């Protein structure tokens, strides 16, 4: 006798032919002992119904009446959030689980670690500024949930921070933090819907943090008298002389000059050049670098030869260069946190180092500003200055073009190293 086949009572999703050559998608399930079926022309709709039936079967012991009042309110709030995102509540829960936790908010500490790790992974060299901005945010706000940030609190924190005096510094911090938030949003982390660090957008009528106005927009440059004084001071210190000459006369950035070696500088009589390779050149956020060949004029080559004859050190640590250039203060009993020792505080005394070039103290990036100004005003070629300095033509025109008189700029390029420096 043939055994009777028993039909499974679990929800099923299968295809059937309606007899006219059309395939339909059928969902079948049991409810209160009775079998029900529903046909769909669309597979997507059939899958959605199948998931609903399956979820109802798995949670048939859960119903609205069995929930407490607090649980009902929480469920309604979750449904409201899901509706605002234009997704079903079930899809929102599944997405949260994929991100590492059911609805787990992202804290500032975790968000900062992911961002810094991402910058290292994609090979960004200059990560000090974004890392400092993220760490300073965490030091002030703690491990705050990123979807609960208050724009007003952030604005007050930036405006009242005594360490950030210049408007440009404050704007830079806000821009770094805005980029951080956008990265977290792209990664699908729970950071809210609006960037709390962004500036307002007039065309979209969105609120934001208004950037601080820089009242003193003109860049700081050295006068001809100050140039001669800086060079006189620099040639007394082998640690700084090569870097200062490369920055002041050749258009190399300080960070680039500190990484160059004398093998990268060809002082051939016919065509002296400086090779600023991709591993040394400044990296931009879009992945491009400012790598370039700098062809030297005879006067520029003479200054580089003089710096080499004076014992100029290349390459040199950036911190060592900065300390030798302008010195440092003496910190008696200075305390700092050693994270590699479980967060214990250690004390250390830093010896006072006098600056070899006190004329440059407190004048940030003045060597580069001076080179760009004297170069573009003397040769009146924005494209050439842009290539040598590794900047865009727009920056050169906006900040340095017609900054000084041409006759003054020409005198700068007439400054020659003394013969005593060339002899070493």
Question: 385 lies in a domain?
Answer: yes
As a whole number of angstroms, the distance between CA 279 and CA 282 comes to: 8
Question: 346 lies in a domain?
Answer: no
pLDDT tens digits, 358-404: 999 888 899 999 999 999 999 999 999 999 999 999 989 988 988 89
* Burial of 397 from C-beta contacts in 10 A (0-12 / 13-18 / 19+): middle
My answer on whether 294 and 325 are in the same domain is yes
Residue 331: which residues within 8 A CB-CB, separation 6 or more?
349, 350
Q: At CB < 8 A and 24+ separation, what contacts does 374-383 make?
A: 374/221, 374/404, 374/409, 374/412, 374/413, 375/251, 375/409, 376/400, 376/401, 376/403, 377/401, 377/402, 377/403, 377/404, 377/405, 377/406, 377/408, 377/409, 378/406, 378/409, 378/410, 378/412, 378/413, 380/406
Which DSSP symbol is given to 176? H
Closest to 420 (Cα-Cα) out of 229, 235, 228: 235
Question: 386 lies in a domain?
Answer: yes
Contact 267, 305 (CB under 8 A): yes
Question: 38 lies in a domain?
Answer: yes
My answer on whether 267 and 368 are in the same domain is yes
Q: How many CB atoms lie within 10 A of CB 411?
A: 14
As a whole number of angstroms, the distance between CA 193 and CA 185 comes to: 9
Closest to 287 (Cα-Cα) out of 125, 115, 117: 125
Does the structure show a pLDDT above 60 at 205?
Answer: no
- Across the strands, what pairs with 347? 335
414 falls in which pLDDT band (50, 70, 90)?
A: very high
Bond prior to 423 in cis (omega within 30° of 0): no
Question: 342 lies in a domain?
Answer: no
My answer on whether 126 and 231 are in the same domain is no
Question: 211 lies in a domain?
Answer: yes
102 falls in which pLDDT band (50, 70, 90)?
A: very low
Structural domain of 96: 73-100
Q: Which residue has the tokens 């709030």?
A: 77
As a whole number of angstroms, the distance between CA 164 and CA 171 comes to: 10
Domain harbouring 197, CATH code: 1.10.150
Question: 351 lies in a domain?
Answer: no
Phi-psi region of 5 (alpha: psi -120 to 50; beta: other; left: phi over 0): beta
Residue after which a domain boundary falls, among 162, 188, 217: 217
Please give the tally of structural domains in the chain: 4
My answer on whether 192 and 151 are in the same domain is yes
pLDDT tens digits, 35-93: 888 888 888 888 888 888 777 665 554 566 666 777 778 788 788 777 777 777 777 76
Sheet with 12-17, edge to edge strand ranges: 12-17, 23-31, 34-40
My answer on whether 297 and 271 are in the same domain is yes
pLDDT tens digits, 308-334: 999 999 999 998 999 899 887 655 555
Question: 12 lies in a domain?
Answer: yes
Give the β-pairing of 34-40 and 292-295. Answer: unpaired
């Amino acid at each position: 006798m043939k055994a009777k086949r028993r039909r499974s009572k679990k929800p099923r999703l299968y295809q059937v032919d309606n007899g006219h050559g059309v395939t339909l998608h059928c969902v079948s399930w049991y409810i209160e002992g009775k079998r029900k079926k529903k046909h769909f022309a669309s597979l997507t709709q059939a899958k959605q119904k199948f998931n609903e039936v399956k979820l109802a079967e798995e949670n048939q012991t859960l119903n609205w009446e069995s929930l407490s009042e607090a649980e009902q309110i929480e469920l309604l709030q979750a449904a409201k959030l899901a509706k605002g995102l234009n997704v079903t509540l079930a899809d929102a829960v599944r997405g949260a689980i994929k991100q590492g936790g059911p609805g787990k908010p992202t804290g500032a500490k975790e968000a900062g670690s992911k961002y810094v790790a991402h910058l290292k992974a994609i090979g960004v060299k200059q990560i000090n500024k974004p890392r400092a901005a993220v760490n300073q945010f965490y030091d002030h706000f703690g491990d705050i949930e990123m979807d609960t940030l208050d724009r007003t609190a952030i604005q007050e924190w930036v405006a009242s921070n005594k360490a950030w005096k210049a408007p440009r510094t404050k704007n830079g911090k806000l821009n770094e933090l805005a980029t951080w938030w956008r990265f977290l949003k792209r990664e699908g982390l729970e950071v809210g819907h609006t960037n709390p660090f962004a500036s307002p957008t007039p065309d979209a009528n969105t609120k934001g943090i208004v950037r601080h106005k820089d009242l003193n927009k003109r860049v700081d440059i050295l006068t001809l008298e100050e140039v001669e004084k800086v060079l006189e001071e620099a040639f007394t210190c082998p640690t700084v002389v090569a870097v200062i000459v490369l920055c002041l006369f050749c258009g190399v950035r300080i960070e680039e000059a500190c990484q160059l070696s004398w093998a990268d500088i060809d002082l051939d009589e016919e065509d002296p050049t400086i090779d600023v390779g991709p591993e040394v050149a400044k990296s931009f956020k879009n992945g491009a670098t400012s790598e370039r060949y700098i062809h030297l004029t005879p006067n520029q080559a003479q200054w580089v030869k003089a710096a080499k004859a004076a014992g100029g050190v290349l390459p040199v640590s950036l911190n060592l260069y900065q300390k030798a250039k302008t010195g440092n203060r003496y910190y008696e009993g200075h305390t700092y946190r050693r994270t590699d020792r479980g967060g214990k505080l250690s004390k250390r005394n830093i010896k006072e180092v006098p600056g070899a070039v006190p004329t440059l103290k407190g004048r940030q990036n003045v060597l580069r500003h001076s080179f760009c100004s004297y170069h573009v005003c003397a040769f009146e070629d924005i494209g050439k200055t842009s290539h040598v300095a590794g900047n865009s033509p727009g920056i050169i025109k906006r900040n340095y073009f017609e900054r000084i008189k041409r006759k003054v700029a020409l005198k700068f390029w007439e400054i020659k190293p003394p013969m005593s420096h060339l002899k070493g």
